[in-house]
Amino acid sequence: MEACWCGALGGKSDVLSTTSEVVVPSSAGERSQVPLSEMESGMFSAGPLACASFPAIALRLRSCDPGLLKSSLATALARHRVLAGRIKKTFVELSDEGVPFTVVESSKSSAPKQIREPDLLQLADFRRAPRVSSGSQPPCTVLLTRYRDGSGVLTFCRSHVLMDGTSAWAFIGDWARAARGEPLVAGRAVDIVGEAPDRAEVDAMWMEEFGEPMADWGVTLKKAALKGVLHTVAPVADLLFLSGTTGDLERPRAFFSDDDLAAIKVAATPSGDGSWVSTQEALSAYLVLTAGKTLLKADSRGRVTVAYILDPRKALGRSSNETFGAGLVIMRMAFDGLLQMSLQDVAGKIHDAAQSEMSLKKVGRRWRLSEGCFKHGVEFCLLSKTMPRKWENDVTLVLNNQSKRELPDFGEAASGGRAEAVVTNAGPTIVLPAKGGVDVLLDPTTLLRAARSARDRARVVDALRANMPRPTRAAEQGGA
């Protein structure tokens, strides 16, 4: 099977050898079909790679044993059979055809201590979304790059049609447990799709959610036009992405230690004890306030929109470790006057909106509304309501928080213990787990929209560090 892209860090001159095999589930299952939800079959199935339709997660390992990693992958695939099957537009064929696993031996001395997003072009085996969705390419791939000192980078790519970020981390967690010789946790490993709401129910939910009827005029025409554009543009966009010429391949990165996060939370809370706002709300407030005060002019309106990409599993009564391709709900909030606000003011705005907009009931209803909109072909109406319009805002933060995921531990024999670093090209602004804290990859098209150059972006990253609240004066700031 021909790969879309596969390489090793540094280019062909650093590749000593390349071997590839297909890993199949350790135990065969009955051949069957699993239907995709309306959103799963409708989202990411034709998008360019740059839109994270086939995103990668790359892990730095202190050491790596390809044999153990392959055998444990086979065990994990026996539980997550959808990954070893093939997507056929609206369903997944549980065919156990397997996952391509490529091992590249590099002449480089050691794996990079911090994996950068541009490195993924050589460290990942990308496959184009339309070919994956038609069944001619596998829904996931694995590429292991090994270095002379025994270290490695393990990169797992998957179709977003089958696996969102939560699903991907859950699968990697199962893979790591299998590598350590532990039994896999119980849970539903195959997405079971419920009946999408009918049009009357969609209209009723829309009215309850937005307080006005759905204006769906022109939606069919827009949808047809977009499909035509995607089919035309996606191959070109993929070529540009894979050749590294699409521009912003690397988002500005800011590291926040556990102490930094604690200090920001205390400083963002009026009581000063950090018990009112969540860490996510406090960090969001700090990001938008710092970006705004660094980049915006004094007479700016200071229009801010904050949107969270949420996991609806709990709201839908689904297990946290089941495979789910479109397990995301976007909830947003907006306000003006950023430059006149304190950190506590911004955090309070975000907290109050989150309390009213992010209840389990609302998250579950929003997901069902999304499913119904995709079923009835009016998803563009919902996207126009939920996705922030960047041109209307001075600062926009769309946050995908994956920091609660632990760096996986494949065991001492397979990987030398816990992974030491991680990066992904999913987004937009994403929070990732890191040793002793989190890494925040800032989306330059939203949060840093006012930045006209790499220098402006560097100014924001510098300001995030320079203006960091300190534990010694966080309580004073909170009580002021």
Separation of alpha carbons 85 and 99, rounded Å = 9
Q: How many residues does the chain have?
A: 480
Rounding to the nearest 10 degrees, give the CA dihedral for residues 366, 372, 375, 381.
-60
What is the pLDDT at residue 434?
Answer: 93
Strands (E), 303-414: 304-310, 329-335, 395-401
Give the strands of the sheet with 253-257, arranged side by side.
Answer: 253-257, 437-441, 429-434, 395-401, 304-310, 329-335
Query: Is 335 in contact with 349 (CB distance < 8 Å)?
Result: yes
Tokens describing residue 142: 């694995």
452 CB contacts (<8 Å, ≥6 apart)? none
What is the pLDDT at residue 235?
Answer: 82
Dihedral sign, CA of 281, 285, 288, 294?
A: negative
Query: Is 404 in contact with 171 (CB distance < 8 Å)?
Result: no
Q: Is 11 exposed, middle or buried (0-12, 13-18, 19+ CB in 10 A)?
A: exposed
What is the pLDDT at residue 9?
Answer: 38
Separation of alpha carbons 55 and 168, rounded Å = 10
What is the pLDDT at residue 188?
Answer: 54
Model pTM?
0.90
Write out the chain's pLDDT in tens, 480 residues.
Answer: 444 444 433 445 689 999 999 999 999 888 988 888 878 877 777 778 888 889 999 999 999 999 999 999 999 999 999 999 999 988 899 999 999 999 999 999 999 999 999 999 999 999 998 899 889 999 999 999 999 999 999 999 999 988 889 889 999 999 999 999 999 876 555 555 567 899 999 999 999 988 888 877 655 556 665 666 667 778 888 887 887 765 557 889 999 999 999 999 999 998 756 568 999 999 999 999 999 999 999 999 999 999 999 888 888 888 777 777 777 788 888 999 999 999 999 999 999 999 888 889 999 999 999 889 888 888 878 877 887 676 788 898 999 998 888 899 999 999 999 999 999 998 789 999 998 999 999 988 777 777 778 888 899 999 999 999 987 544 444 433
β pairing state of 56-61 and 395-401: unpaired
Chain Cα centroid distance, residue 307: 14
Residue 253 pairs in a beta bridge with 441
What is the pLDDT at residue 316?
Answer: 85
